[in-house]
Amino acid sequence: MNFNTLTATHISDLKAMVSEDRFSTGESVLKLHAKDQSHHRGCRPEAVIWPQDTAEVVAILKYANANQLPVVGWGSGSSLEGNPIPVQKGLVLDFTQMNRILDVREEDFQVDVEPGVVYQDLNEHLKNTGLFFPPDPGARATVGGMIANNASGTRTVYYGSTKDYVLKLKIVLASGEILEMGRRVAKTSSGYDMPHLFVGSEGTLGIVVEATLRLAGLPEEFSAAVVTFPSIEAASKAVSNIVRYGLNPAALELLDASCIELFNKEKALGLEISPTLFIEFHGPSMAYLSEIMGMTEEICKETGSLAFNPGLGREARNRLFEARHELGEMITRAHPDCRIQVLDAAVPMSTYPEIIALAKQAPEETGIKGYAFSHAGDGNLHLCLAGRKDEKGDWDLIDQIGQRLVSKAISLGGTATGEHGVGIGKRKYMLDEHGNSLAWMKRIKALFDPHGILNPGKIFP
């Protein structure tokens, strides 16, 4: 695809579509929209527009489509695989001003939102209803970005991913056509499942301008434990058994000793420096939770746990998960001369100890500092690798580690990305993972966006 560079005419035409203060070509604005939180090289767009309603999005897309200008949707820039980096320049549509919570229907367990709503703000808004939107990617992500990447996180093992909560979408296609898909019902078997085609499509098929989300009931009670193990292999075996015995944890996070060291350093948590599981259960009563926790303790002991500390109060639990959510930043701070790459892959549960072993061994063999942590309960692994900014040698090694780990995950029947999306970094694995299905994804892309203006350079190799 060839794209046009933004001309003075384009600029004046686009400016006229929104109010003056919602169009910018200012250097600092362009810089802020050049890069997400990934290690990928940034690229400045030529202009940033803050739409406030569907009609504006329609007008902008129609114009961009007619003038062959690339368009990328932007939430909070918290993605980790370069997903919204405007690699072909063009326009960024920043949705932070299109962030209304349109309707809460408590009795239906549903909410209608605009894409710019930050999910923590949504849950804050919902707190007196007893309902919440469970996917918990950690960063201050927008719902639009979460839908684009099918985001998930610590609670997914129990509550599912974003895709499990999207009932209905209003989408603007590249042509400017508005498409409503899905229904406000708990179940339907009516025609093709269009919403699920758009969830996780990373803004390459259309732009979400409204979503109806299903909500879950807030749990009555919770119970959390911290468990330490002599090795990451033993911890991962415990994970596999907890899942196998159907204990349904609401969070099952594995952290290696390096991560725990950072927690103690930055948060003074005073944890044993050893491979560790954070385990949480949600349930209707404390009696039930103690029963489940007892079974969990037994399983952990069988795989050689060193210490099992249950009964964390809400405050201690929140401090742990806050630390967990800040881990990426802690690693960055611990290596001021380095860039950090986060690897993300997922495998079938039975092969989890195998991928964890490789995540430990591969960095050790190369001398690159690695931090392994993961949403272990759903077979999802993250490995943070620190490479010195200008040392090509480090980055070649990091590439090799990434290649080994992701190829291994795929060969185990797994996926190149459990939750960060394909973005830029995982494109090279797509053929290996999807075979000839990839060609059909491309045909679907061409059907919905024939000029290829929507988030070009992503997903497809």
Please report, as residue ranges, which positions from 218 to 257 form the binding site for its own copies (by CB under 8 A). 240, 243-244, 246, 248
Paired with 339 in beta bridges are: 387
Least distance in angstroms from the C-beta of 99 to its own copies: 23
Least distance in angstroms from the C-beta of 254 to its own copies: 15
Choose the binding region for its own copies from 33-41, 303-311, 322-330, 416-424 (rule: CB under 8 A).
416-424
Closer Cβ to its own copies, 149 or 274, answer by number: 149
Binding mask 422-451 for its own copies (x = CB under 8 A): x---x---x--xxxxxx-xx-xx--xx---
Closer Cβ to its own copies, 149 or 305, answer by number: 149
Binding mask 155-184 for its own copies (x = CB under 8 A): -xx---x-xx------------xxxxx-xx
Please report, as residue ranges, which positions from 106 to 125 form the binding site for its own copies (by CB under 8 A). 106-110
Strands (E), 125-165: 131-132
Paired with 308 in beta bridges are: 227
Regarding beta strands 91-94 and 47-49, do their DSSP bridges make them parallel or antiparallel, or are they unpaired? parallel
Are the CB atoms for 311 and 223 separated by under 8 Å? yes
Q: Binding to its own copies by residue 185, rule CB under 8 A?
A: yes
Q: According to CB under 8 A, which one of 421, 425, 452, 457 is a site residue for its own copies?
A: 421
Place of tokens 């970094």: 425
Least distance in angstroms from the C-beta of 204 to its own copies: 9
What is the phi/psi pair of residue 336, to 5°?
A: -60, -25
Residue 453: CB partners within 8 Å, gap ≥ 6? 1, 3, 61, 64, 65, 68, 69, 70, 71, 90, 174
Closer Cβ to its own copies, 101 or 197, answer by number: 197
C-alpha to C-alpha distance for 214 and 432, rounded to whole angstroms? 34
Q: According to CB under 8 A, which one of 26, 294, 311, 413 is a site residue for its own copies?
A: 413
C-alpha to C-alpha distance for 137 and 121, rounded to whole angstroms? 14
Q: Binding to its own copies by residue 38, rule CB under 8 A?
A: no
DSSP letters of 388-400?
ETT-HHHHHHHHH
Place of tokens 């491979």: 275
Choose the binding region for its own copies from 4-12, 38-46, 288-296, 394-402 (rule: CB under 8 A).
288-296
Secondary structure of residue 412 in the 3-state scheme? coil
Q: According to CB under 8 A, which one of 284, 311, 393, 450 is a site residue for its own copies?
A: 284
